[in-house]
A and B are shown apart, each in its own frame.
Chain A
Amino acid sequence: MTYTLIFLAILMAAVVWWLVKQSINVKPWVADSAADAVRTDGVHGLGSYVPLPNIKLGLGVFLAVVTSLFALFVSAYTIRMEYADWRPLLEPNLLWVNTGILVLGSVFLQWAWNAAKRQDRAAIKRGIIGGGICTVAFIIGQLAAWNQLSAAGHFIQSNPANGFFYLITATHALHILGGLFALGKTISRLWQPSSESPEILLGVELCAVYWHYLLAIWLILFALMLNT
């Protein structure tokens, strides 16, 4: 459980730090004007402070849940590894190709995000379509890797490492498919002439962040499976 605990410790430290900032030197029992109360608040601050869009924070919280999920998979994997019957995984070389494709997808989305900042709609479209194609290619590639493994006689129940491989890759792919749904919504918005740029910028930004995050998780999982 070490990995999960490390993740949680970092998260809890962040929560505590945030709370200290919010609560230190605050006297909640003092009735005050709204102006003061708003100022000490930090989230709805005054002046030029731009409030964080709800959906952005929502994605952040969701990514914390996703991290918890994968940290637990990693923990279970490493605990299971200690047992005598553990056989290292046969990694199809195709996984390297898939990883490259996923990196490319992330690059495309970063490109789209940059284009969205300059409000260059044509470039956003190119970036986001490129990202979408790479992502679909990645999922097809993962399915092909499954095929190669099972063709070589490595089924999900053959040994524990295989079980984890199928389970973890499937969970990761499902998260990517969920992302594709959001990406599809952004794409359909891009093709509506009436939609406004801030809306599109936000959509593209969220997609890009999600893709980078899932790429990072994939890299960690892949490294774990390579080294064991």
Chain B
Amino acid sequence: MSDVAHDALDFAPPAEVEEMELYHPKTWIGKYVWSQDAKVIAIQYGITAILIGLVALVLSVIMRLQLGFPHTFDFIDPANYLQFVTMHGMIMVIYLLTALFLGGFGNYLIPLMVGARDMVFPYVNMISYWVYLLAVLVLVASIFVPGGSTGAGWTLYPPQAISPGTPGIDGGIILMLVSLVLFIIGFTMGGLNYIVTVLQARTRGMSLMRLPLTVWGIFMATVLALLAFPALFVSAIMMLLDRLVGTSFFMPAMVSLGEQTSYDGGSPLLFQHLFWFFGHPEVYIVALPAFGIVSDLLSTHARKAIFGYRMMVWAIVAIGALSFVVWAHHMYVSGMNPYFGFFFATTTLIIAVPTALKVYNWVLTLWRGNIRLNVPMLFAIGFIFTFINGGLTGLFLGNVTIDLPLSDTYFVVAHFHMVMAVSPILVVFGAIYHWYPKITGRMLNDTLGKIHFWITFLGTYAIYFPMHYLGFEGLPRRYFSYGDTEFMSASSQDLNAAITIAAIIVAFAQIFFLVNLFTSYFRGKLAGPNPWEATTLEWQTADTPPKHGNFGDELPVVYRWAYDYSVPNADLDYIPQNVSPSDLKKPTAGQQGEIEN
């Protein structure tokens, strides 16, 4: 190919992406509080989510104290315990993980990675955060109303959620449901932004198949969330009506405390269907962004193109689509038709196929890569281990016959914590260590990061591995204390105590992380624009941290995918997405063929 032809191909047409009119705030409050800049909104989302997540972390430690050392702590009574369980689960799943992945990383990374100045509807984006904050405040308020927060478990199953005897049926459950409704409204506003920005605001050359997998993961998770959250919305509203005005959507005719209630003929099963129709996609709403982010971390730090990019995209889409037809595997013990259970067991096993594809591709990305074992990479590799462990137990629980005896035991607790709590949170940590230099301009401390990683990674195994055995013994979950129960071996209490000690150590290890976040902001090593030598657009910005508008005067033009690492014959072992073929050193004729292949 001659130089002339090359230049002709390099012709860049006039900008097709319209320059966006940015809102320019004049006051400090406009810049950092009522901000319409996606990056500031992302940080607001991130800080709020992490703060409320710390509350949930403390709750889990209190639960573990009770389980490990029953009858030792006076301030935990059975009602409190149930409230802690409920709030811990609800906060971690929805207010921390969903908000952090989509509101936090989504807001920060989507505009930067697709080469946009900002989200397409910045004002709506701002409102989204404030509604989310309101939802969090309502949730926190529910702890302080008379009767305290709800203790119905994060699944909020009726009739028990709104029947006397369950903690928090006065104000707690009402505020919980209101908070969920607010969260969904806020999320929908943000979600519209993420979708439309990915589809409409990509810069020139950024075809869909050149998007980093992080954007794909967040995009598909948003699609799932927009379609699945309405199910939670509907069930929350209907339960609110059952509780407040006495309708009988979910509440059956029943005798409560010796008296016939006014409810008649509602269906608790209907709630379970609606809840899990949201609840199962929710697992993937949390998992898909983690899948996407971890793909980019692995590729960047292994200095190798992600293995099977298109397969990865298709797997994300396939998992997203399939996640809507597996919900009833959470309900095997609800007395369903066996054929129904057979159907859902089958779909559940089918969804393991694209998921396993992704795992193979991650491992193959590492294969013979030039692995840089820095902190983000440690977390990314830790994720692969943990996700495989949690995923494999999922195959057991997906089968009806194995699920029935294990249902509602600690085996389930171990499974879902491995697969959708520890795995995504490892990615959250990896992602924070990875992008903190871009967000603040300073590196996080490496030693503190490694201490944080090893204690967290090994510690979570010390917590959740033994729980599988407790589950096999038949230890039921959500119990305040076990007392002398025949089927329980004497050593199970010792195991519980050991788990508690591990949990306390892991919880305290997070202090290393928080201290690191805080001190590095002031004293961390200056990062420079591209400390990881990465290819994606957020590392090619004019300023670090990027200013309002992201890219200086001109939007970047994209010439290649996000995974040009270790390209043969290139000068550096990475080629950023905005480097045109003619800007690269021109190879000799003999090497030309190799590069084009």
Cα separation A72 to B12 with both chains bound (whole Å): 47
Within 63-92 of A, Cβ neighbours of B (below 8 Å) are at 64-65, 68-69, 72-73, 76, 79-80, 83-85
Q: How far is the CB of B106 from chain A (nearest CB, A)?
A: 15
Query: A72 to B277, Cβ gap below 8 A?
Result: yes
- Taking a contact as CB atoms closer than 8 A, the residue among B17, B120, B248 that contacts A44 in the complex is B17
**B214 interfacial contact with A, CB 8 Å:** no
Query: Within 8 Å CB of A32, what residues of B?
Result: 9, 559-560, 581
**B74 interfacial contact with A, CB 8 Å:** no
Q: In the complex, what residue of chain A is closest to B248 when comparing beta carbons? A: A160
Query: B11 to A26, Cβ gap below 8 A?
Result: no
Cα separation A30 to B559 with both chains bound (whole Å): 9
For the side of the interface on A, what is the size category? 35 or more
Chain A facing B: main interface SS: helix
Cα separation A46 to B204 with both chains bound (whole Å): 11
Q: Mark A29-68, 1 if CB is under 8 A from B, else 0.
A: 1111111111011011110000110110110011011001
Cα separation A16 to B315 with both chains bound (whole Å): 12
Cα separation A43 to B267 with both chains bound (whole Å): 46
Q: How far is the CB of A219 from chain B (nearest CB, A)?
A: 20
Query: Within 8 Å CB of A15, what residues of B?
Result: 223, 317, 321
Q: Mark B535-560, 1 if CB is under 8 A from A, else 0.
A: 00000000000000000000001111
Q: A26-B207, A28-B310 are in contact. Are A35 and B317 (CB under 8 A)?
A: no
**A11 interfacial contact with B, CB 8 Å:** yes
- Taking a contact as CB atoms closer than 8 A, the residue among B196, B249, B325, B559 that contacts A160 in the complex is B249
Query: B208 to A156, Cβ gap below 8 A?
Result: no
- Taking a contact as CB atoms closer than 8 A, the residue among A31, A44, A167, A171 that contacts B564 in the complex is A31
Q: In the complex, what residue of chain B is closest to A36 when comparing beta carbons? A: B9
Cα separation A8 to B323 with both chains bound (whole Å): 11
**A23 interfacial contact with B, CB 8 Å:** yes
Interface segment among B155-163, B170-178, B232-240, B492-500: the answer is B232-240
Q: In the complex, what residue of chain A is closest to B560 when comparing beta carbons? A: A31
**B179 interfacial contact with A, CB 8 Å:** no
Q: In the complex, what residue of chain A is closest to B318 when comparing beta carbons? A: A16
**A157 interfacial contact with B, CB 8 Å:** yes
Query: A35 to B13, Cβ gap below 8 A?
Result: yes
Residue from A5, A15, A72 whose CB has the most chain B CB atoms within 10 Å: A72
Q: A28-B309, A30-B596, A85-B264 are in contact. Are A41 and B559 (CB under 8 A)?
A: no
Query: Within 8 Å CB of B192, what residues of A?
Result: 58, 61-62, 65
Q: A32-B9, A33-B559 are in contact. Are A76 and B270 (CB under 8 A)?
A: yes
Query: Within 8 Å CB of A164, what residues of B?
Result: 249
Q: Mark A136-166, 1 if CB is under 8 A from B, else 0.
A: 0000000000000000000011001001100
**B18 interfacial contact with A, CB 8 Å:** yes
Cα separation A160 to B253 with both chains bound (whole Å): 13
Query: A54 to B580, Cβ gap below 8 A?
Result: no
Binding site for B on A (CB under 8 A): 1, 4-5, 8, 11-12, 15-16, 19, 22-23, 26, 28-38, 40-41, 43-46, 51-52, 54-55, 57-58, 61-62, 64-65, 68-69, 72-73, 76, 79-80, 83-85, 156-157, 160, 163-164, 167, 171
The 7 closest A-B pairs by CB, nearest first: A85-B265, A31-B560, A69-B230, A163-B247, A37-B205, A34-B205, A157-B246
Interface CB pairs A-B, < 8 A, 12: A4-B277, A23-B313, A26-B207, A29-B563, A33-B581, A35-B10, A36-B9, A58-B192, A69-B230, A76-B270, A79-B270, A85-B264
